[in-house]
């Protein structure tokens, strides 16, 4: 074999193509060259996650508010009839639990605690009225509204959720009492509650029929429509507004259930 001249070898090496540049290859300073990340990508993901968590928490609180409106129907009403003092004293348990949760560092627990504090005010008012003043419908709103000044004062501070729940519940109670007064149903209230069970159901059915008379139905429908429009406005006022809207809407639903029970199954109504 004939060896290639050394001059040709040196020229071949001189004209060899340059090696491909690896973007991750070490530089002369020994540092890898990396493709920079898109600016703000990490902060955008974090913001989206925080927004999703906040929305989830708000949904849970609104569901909790609705559940607290329903709780007296299934728990407090029968309890007050059987043991009004025990039901009234249970307010201390609700208030203590609410205050304990409100002091927790987790925002979710703290807000739930504030909501429970507002509910404890509703529970106490309901226990006092249905335990000892149930035969006097004109006492209903004053007794239920005993904490009105405290709730109104709390709207401007840390008890905003408590005040929103309590005031929305009180507004729902006032609207219900007004509809009953204007429709004439409130006159049957003492008779229904004094009558034996066998006689109370027909009286309650009569009260339901009074509500669906044309004039009364128009009045009740107007009040319900006004409250629904108010709920729509409240939803735009932040978390406290959405709590109030959920409370009002659930109160309307409960009133509708009571009316249906009075018409079709009066013996099942919680008033009895």
Q: Report residue 32's pLDDT band, with 50, 70 and 90 as the boundaries.
A: very low
Contact 103, 149 (CB under 8 A): no
Q: Mind listing the pLDDT tens digit for each residue in 158-191?
A: 999 999 999 999 999 999 999 999 988 888 888 8
- Alpha carbons 199 and 197: distance in angstroms, whole number: 5
Number of folded domains that form the chain:
1
Among 180, 161, 178, which residue's Cα sits nearest to residue 247?
161
Q: Mind listing the pLDDT tens digit for each residue in 88-134?
A: 999 999 999 999 999 999 989 999 999 999 999 999 999 999 999 99
Tell me whether residue 77 is in a domain: yes
Q: Mind listing the pLDDT tens digit for each residue in 229-272?
A: 999 999 999 999 999 999 999 999 999 999 998 899 887 765 55
Q: 154 or 34, which is more confident?
A: 154
Tell me whether residue 123 is in a domain: yes
Tell me whether residue 262 is in a domain: yes
Residue 244: its pLDDT value, please? 96
Residue 213: its pLDDT value, please? 92
- Backbone φ and ψ for 26, nearest 5 degrees, come out as -60, 140
Tell me whether residue 189 is in a domain: yes
List the domain range (segments joined by +) for residue 66.
60-268
Tell me whether residue 5 is in a domain: no
Return the exposure string of 102-125: e unless at least 16 CB atoms fall within 10 Å of the residue's CB, then b.
Answer: beeeeeeebbbbbbbbbbbbbbbb
Tell me whether residue 167 is in a domain: yes
Instruction: Say what the pTM is.
Output: 0.80
Please report, rounded to a whole number, the percentage of residues in the chain having pLDDT higher than 70: 79
Tell me whether residue 79 is in a domain: yes
């Amino acid at each position: 074999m004939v060896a290639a001249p050394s001059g040709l070898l040196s020229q071949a090496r001189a004209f060899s193509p340059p090696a491909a540049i690896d973007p991750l290859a070490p530089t002369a300073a020994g540092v890898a060259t990396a493709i920079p990340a898109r600016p703000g990508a990490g902060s955008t993901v974090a913001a989206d996650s925080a927004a999703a968590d906040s929305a989830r928490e708000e949904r849970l609180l609104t569901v909790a508010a609705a559940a607290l409106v329903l709780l007296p129907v299934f728990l407090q009403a029968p309890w007050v009839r059987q043991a009004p003092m025990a039901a009234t004293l249970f307010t201390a348990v609700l208030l203590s639990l609410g205050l304990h949760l409100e002091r927790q560092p987790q925002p979710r627990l703290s807000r739930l605690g504030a909501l429970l504090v507002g509910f404890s005010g509703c529970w106490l008012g309901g226990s006092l009225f249905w335990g000892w003043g149930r035969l006097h419908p004109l006492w209903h709103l004053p007794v239920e509204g005993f904490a009105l000044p405290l709730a109104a004062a709390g709207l401007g501070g840390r008890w905003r959720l408590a005040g929103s729940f309590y005031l929305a519940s009180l507004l729902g109670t006032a609207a219900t009492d007004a509809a009953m007064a204007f429709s004439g149903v409130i006159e049957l209230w003492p008779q229904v509650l004094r009558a034996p069970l066998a006689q109370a159901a027909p009286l309650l059915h009569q009260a339901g029929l009074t509500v669906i008379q044309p004039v009364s139905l128009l009045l009740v429908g107007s009040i319900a429509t006004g409250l629904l429009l108010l709920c729509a406005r409240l939803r735009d006022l932040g978390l406290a507004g959405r709590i109030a809207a959920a409370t009002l809407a659930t109160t309307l639903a409960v009133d509708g259930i009571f009316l249906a029970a009075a018409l079709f199954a009066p013996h099942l109504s919680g008033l009895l």
